[in-house]
Chains A and B, each alone.
Chain A
Amino acid sequence: MFDFVQLVRNENMKIYRRTRTWIMFGMLLVLTLAISIAAYAFPDGNLPSMWMAFQINTMLGVNLITIFAVIIAAETVAGEFSTGTIKLLLIRPWTRSKILLSKYISLVLFAFLFVLLLLVWNFVLNWLLFGSDTEARMGVDQLPALNFFLQYHGYEFISMIMVVTLSFLVSTVFRSGSFAIGLSIFLLFGGQLLTGILSLMDYPWVKYVLFLNLRLSDYLSGGNMFGRGEHDLTLGFSLSVLAVYYVIFILITWYIFKKRDVAT
């Protein structure tokens, strides 16, 4: 069939032509700028390393982007149902699977683009404010800072995609954007609490719970292993568990979307 890229362009248009998206973008830039300037203006003794500001800003920013991407994921399918535009979208010479795929790709692109912008913006901003620092070493393996943060945010991106895919699933299955947003955000933040409780129980299945395996970046930073308790988890194990969840999420989403009668 003809150009699939055109479908992704359509979905991109529906994301970036909305004021909402630019407000999100503005929030991300302004918030991180404000934190850096505050750290610069009121230093605690000497000026901190650029990497300290970078770390705070990007960790915060990634959480913010996860929320934004969850909102877009929730909206992309459920929104078309609630406005009724799904009817005109599905009566084109494209299978439902391809239409859904174009939506999913545009969503992942959105998350990737925002993370990339966050990292570049904060690298440049904090380098200008605090000066370069090539000596900094970070994490359990004492990696050079830039190297460390690239890996760190690589893992964070995988976790983000898991949460976003879940939101996409809920959006498709229940056709309710608010439910998808609510559930995803609850699981994102409440999930950590839940894992804390779960990890206290000594059941063998606890280590297969999604949220116990979601904080991949902990393997790198060695920090905040809260919730893992006595379970002996490795990066490879967590990645495998996530992969299985991912495939299940995707299969359910596509199956339901293909199967369902559109009667709004």
Chain B
Amino acid sequence: MQQLTDEPVVRLQGVTKRIGRRTIIDKLTLDVPQGEVFGFLGPNGSGKTTTIRMMVGLMKLSDGEIIIRGHRISSQFEQAIKHVGAIVENPEMYKYLSGYDNLVHYARMFPGISKQRIDEVIQLVGLKARIHDKVKTYSLGMRQRLGVAQAILHKPALLILDEPTNGLDPAGIRELRDYLRRLAAEEQTSVFVSSHLLSEMELMCDRVAIIQSGKLIDIRQIQRLGSEPAAAEVAFEVDQPSEAALVLSDLQVEHKDNRVVLTADREQIAQINAKLVSAGIKVYGIRLLTKSLEDQFLEVTGGEQIV
């Protein structure tokens, strides 16, 4: 179990990567607090994998610093990395070894991982039936599960997953999503997930950072149903829009075609609906007009070409 702290589990400060004269990553700054599922969203070639490689010490930083649990990745690599479990791109394992031997291999590299812990993790990722088969006989989905297993063996404070839903079937994606959310909620693990699948991020993450061409464009909180405090734009589809606008004249209302559009929170939506119905107006539908992350994503990246 990890102690609770206000310190972010990982902090990126002005992280920059230059290769030759090209700047691949440009002054990236962000924090991930404990127990948060943080999405890292960007089109292909935007620098997601490069950033992740720097976070796990596979690539050196040209400038800036990455601090994990108070330790600098550049100068205190061993102390920093022991809090991290990761899959970088595809989970490539030793194909000539069994799944179990692969896990034994990684378990030996951390102090005090018991045989029980290995079995527990195997159970958790649902690989029990095939764990003693050679990895070369595994499907992509099974390799992905084995990848998750090696990443969580040592109960890291920070789990970094690069495109984790690649190659998983819909059931597998759902399972992984539920598992990550549970890990964040119950074990207070911070999860850093990269993806270009927007809808997936919306379901999985608490916050999402959007990067493009190596620059951080925006960080957004993901609204969750049920815990939605903010008001949103709502459209009421009615039979007499102008009548409806009159009834709701104390609110700021727009009416067009067969609907009225206004800003309301969850509770207000119910009240407005009751008001309309009691005024004899037929309500055919109520629709939230909040933009999906996909719209936001395309908006901020402007559908720009990869340079």
A contact set with B: CB distance below 8 Å: 1-3, 6-7, 9-10, 13-14, 17-19, 83-85, 87-88, 90-95, 261-263
What is the minimal beta-carbon distance from B81 to any residue of chain A, in angstroms?
Answer: 5
A selection of 28 A-B contacts at a CB cut-off of 8 Å is A3-B111, A6-B108, A7-B108, A9-B108, A10-B109, A13-B105, A14-B94, A14-B97, A17-B96, A18-B96, A85-B93, A87-B88, A88-B87, A88-B91, A88-B93, A90-B58, A91-B56, A91-B57, A91-B84, A91-B88, A92-B106, A93-B81, A95-B77, A95-B78, A261-B60, A262-B53, A262-B59, A263-B53
Q: Which residues of B contact A88 (CB under 8 A)?
A: 87-88, 91-93, 106, 150
The residue that A93 contacts in the complex, of B88, B92, B97, B109, with Cβ under 8 A, is B109
Q: Which residues of B contact A91 (CB under 8 A)?
A: 56-58, 81, 84, 86, 88
Dominant secondary structure at the B interface: loop
Q: Which residues of A contact B58 (CB under 8 A)?
A: 87, 90-91, 261-263
With A1-B78, A261-B60, A262-B53 already in contact, the answer to whether A92 and B109 are too (CB < 8 A) is yes
Q: Which residues of B contact A263 (CB under 8 A)?
A: 53, 58-59
| Interface pair B109/A87, CB less than 8 Å apart | no
Q: Which residues of B contact A95 (CB under 8 A)?
A: 77-78
A88 and B101 CA atoms in complex are apart in Å by: 14
| Closest chain A residue, CB of each to CB of B81 | A93
What is the minimal beta-carbon distance from B63 to any residue of chain A, in angstroms?
Answer: 15
B284 beta carbon closer than 8 Å to chain A: no
Knowing that A83-B95, A263-B53 touch, tell me 20 more A-B residue pairs with CB under 8 angstroms.
A3-B111, A7-B108, A9-B108, A10-B105, A13-B97, A13-B105, A14-B105, A18-B96, A83-B92, A84-B89, A84-B90, A87-B58, A88-B88, A88-B93, A90-B56, A90-B57, A91-B56, A94-B78, A261-B53, A261-B58
What is the minimal beta-carbon distance from B93 to any residue of chain A, in angstroms?
Answer: 7
A92 and B84 CA atoms in complex are apart in Å by: 8
What is the minimal beta-carbon distance from A201 to any residue of chain B, in angstroms?
Answer: 42
B82 beta carbon closer than 8 Å to chain A: yes
| Interface pair B108/A93, CB less than 8 Å apart | no
